[in-house]
Each structure stands twice: as structure tokens, then as C-alpha cells.
């Protein structure tokens, strides 16, 4: 099994914190955000990891190198100064990811969600999403979940996409554009009944601002 970590974003809402370092290299405790996520993947037995990079991406490559020190093998997809978007970045990595489903994780997440070993995506689905309660910064939500089936069209959207998912490469078939976001693809396929999901109510924080980073740092320190 392989995984991809999305790490190409600019992180502009972090202000001065990301002027000189990419957001995935900001730290919670002794580890960077991206290290926390790599080690969670490794804990589930996933050691072949692709990371897309762009903004200050050379720093990520220099910091993580081949991944050997963390016990994983890292392949980089360097988008240089031409970011491909979340969807385009994944499509660009399909030659590495191959024909089998793979786990996708956003680099700027801080969570204790345990990625399941030997997860099987049912043949009738193209993706499996981990959903969390709507946070304050996304109060309108993204999806509805009933009987482990994800939908988007309902006005009631009590759940937010966590940034953790298990995706089939078939989700990206017939995509002609190189630069595009992932979210519309998930919404379209949810409306078509092609996506399963599960609810997670444990530790999860999308590190999109200084305040959310500080909240996660405080949680970490209080847990010691």
C-alpha cells in the first residue's frame, strides 16, 4: 500500500510563520507537522510515500531527505512554481501511486486518527472519506453521512472532510486539465453515490492559522 501527502500549499493564512519556512515544517513538540503525519502512516505499515511540494519545497526535501531516518521511502513530486492544485497534484503522482487505491493525507493536519491496516475499498466506491464534526472555520460543512454513504447535495452538511481519505486512481480517469482542485471531484462523486465514509470524533485540527497551530501545541503540551 502507498500513500500521498499533499504539501505544496502556500500557507498564506499563517502570516509571518510561513514567510521563510513551508507550513508542513512548522512544529508541534519536537516534530514537524509533516513528520507527525508520516509517522502515523508508518504506524499503519505504509512506508512508500509520495509528497508533492512547491512553495519552499527544497526545504522539505532537505529536511526529510529520502525518509530513511523515519523508516520510510519518500518520492517527491516537485511542482516548482506551478502548483497543480490538490487534484492536479494527485493526478501528477498517479504514475508513482499505481493502479491500486492509496491513502491521501494533508500535510497540515494534526490528528490521532489511526489509519486502518488492510483497508479494502468496496468495488462500488471510488473513495472513502474520513469525516469530522464541522469546526468553527467551516461551520456550513462539506458532506452528509448516512449508512456509511457520503452525499453532498443535501442542505444539511454536519460533517467536514478531514483531509484524510482512501482514493481509487479511477477517480482521476479522463481528467484532461493539469491544474484542478480535489474538492469538486469528491462532491460530484458523492452526489453520484460513489463515495463511502466514516465519522471520526477524536483529535483533529486543520492547521490553517496561527491560532489553530497554537491550539494544537497547547493540546500536545497538556498531554505530556
Q: Do residues 50 and 25 lie in contact, with contact meaning Cβ atoms separated by under 8 Å? A: no
pLDDT at 113: 97
Q: What is the mean pLDDT of residues 145-166?
A: 93
DSSP helix/strand/coil, 183: helix
Helix (H) or strand (E) holding 215: helix 210-223
Q: What is the pLDDT of residues 48-98, one digit of tens each?
A: 999 999 999 999 999 999 999 999 999 999 998 889 999 999 999 999 999
Asked whether the predicted pLDDT for residue 154 surpasses 80, the reply is: no
User: What class does CATH assign to 2-223?
Assistant: alpha beta
Dihedral sign (CA 6, 164, 188, 132): negative
Domain ranges of the chain: 2-223
Q: Give the CA count within 13 Å in the CB-facing half-sphere of 82.
A: 4
Cell readout for 198 is 466514516
- Kindly tell me the sign of the dihedral angle through the C-alpha atoms of 39, 44, 49, 52: negative
Cα–Cα dist 38/134, whole Å: 25
- Stated pTM of the model: 0.95
Q: Do 2 and 50 meet the contact criterion of CB atoms below 8 Å apart?
A: yes
Beta bridge partners of 27: 32
Amino acid at each position: 500500500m502507498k500513500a500521498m501527502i499533499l504539501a505544496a500549499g502556500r500557507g498564506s493564512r499563517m502570516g509571518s510563520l510561513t514567510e521563510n519556512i513551508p507550513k508542513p515544517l512548522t512544529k508541534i513538540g519536537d516534530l514537524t507537522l509533516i513528520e507527525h503525519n508520516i509517522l502515523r502512516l508508518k504506524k499503519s505499515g505504509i512506508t512508500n510515500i509520495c509528497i508533492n511540494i512547491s512553495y519552499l519545497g527544497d526545504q522539505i526535501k532537505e529536511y526529510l531527505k529520502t525518509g530513511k531516518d523515519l523508516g520510510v521511502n519518500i518520492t517527491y513530486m516537485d511542482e516548482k512554481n506551478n502548483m497543480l492544485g490538490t487534484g492536479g497534484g494527485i493526478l501528477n503522482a498517479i504514475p508513482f501511486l499505481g493502479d491500486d487505491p492509496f491513502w491521501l493525507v494533508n500535510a497540515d493536519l494534526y490528528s490521532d486518527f489511526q489509519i486502518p491496516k488492510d483497508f479494502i475499498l468496496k468495488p462500488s466506491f471510488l473513495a472513502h472519506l474520513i469525516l469530522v464534526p464541522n469546526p468553527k472555520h467551516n461551520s456550513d460543512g462539506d458532506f452528509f453521512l448516512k449508512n456509511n454513504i457520503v452525499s453532498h447535495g443535501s442542505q444539511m452538511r454536519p460533517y467536514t472532510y478531514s483531509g484524510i481519505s482512501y482514493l481509487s486512481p479511477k477517480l482521476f480517469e479522463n481528467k484532461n486539465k493539469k491544474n484542478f482542485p480535489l474538492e469538486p471531484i469528491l462532491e460530484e462523486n458523492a452526489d453520484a453515490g460513489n463515495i463511502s465514509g466514516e465519522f471520526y470524533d477524536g483529535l483533529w485540527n486543520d492547521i490553517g492559522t496561527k491560532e489553530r497551530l497554537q491550539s494544537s501545541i497547547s493540546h500536545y503540551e497538556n498531554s505530556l
